[in-house]
Amino acid sequence: MKDCIFCKIAKKEIPSDIVFENKNLMAILDIMPVNPGHTLVITKKHYKTMIDVPDKLLSEMILVSKKVGKAVMKGLKVKGFNLGVNNGTVAGQKIDHVHFHIITRLAKDGLKLWPQRQGYRATEAEKIIKKIKKVL
């Protein structure tokens, strides 16, 4: 895609801090990190969301995220990381090119996970399951 910043990074038209690279993927430091070491795993070919990524490449993204996440933890001596992917604007996706966030976590870093609700009402879960299974 012509105007996509991640496509430009993948083609090395604009600079980035590359942590890892192979034929299909790149891992780069996020320019607006939550914590030091916050890394993005991006596809070199343009796909809007993870739903659009072919299964074989998506599997590779997970394995590279594991490899890079492990290296980030060991190299930066952090105890953990969150792996996140936002699919669509409503889910917080700001760049329409699939990318996984490896967010390093530090004790008392202030990062909060999403709020949770108190379960489902009487028949709500059953209705939701039926709707999902119908399209599976």
Full pLDDT tens readout for the chain, 136 residues:
779 999 999 999 999 999 999 999 999 999 999 999 999 999 999 999 999 999 999 999 999 999 999 999 999 999 999 999 999 999 999 999 999 999 999 999 999 888 888 889 889 999 999 999 999 9
At 110, the amino acid letter reads G
Sheet holding 18-21, edge to edge: 18-21, 25-29, 39-43, 99-105, 80-84
Instruction: Domain ranges for the chain, please list them.
Output: 5-135
Q: How far apart are CA 133 and CA 125, in angstroms?
A: 12
Q: Which of 38, 46, 97, 99 is catalytic?
A: 99
Q: How far apart are CA 121 and CA 130, in angstroms?
A: 15
pTM to 2 decimal places: 0.92
Active-site residue, 99 included: yes
Query: Could you tell me which CATH class the domain 5-135 is placed in?
Result: alpha beta
At 116, the amino acid letter reads Q
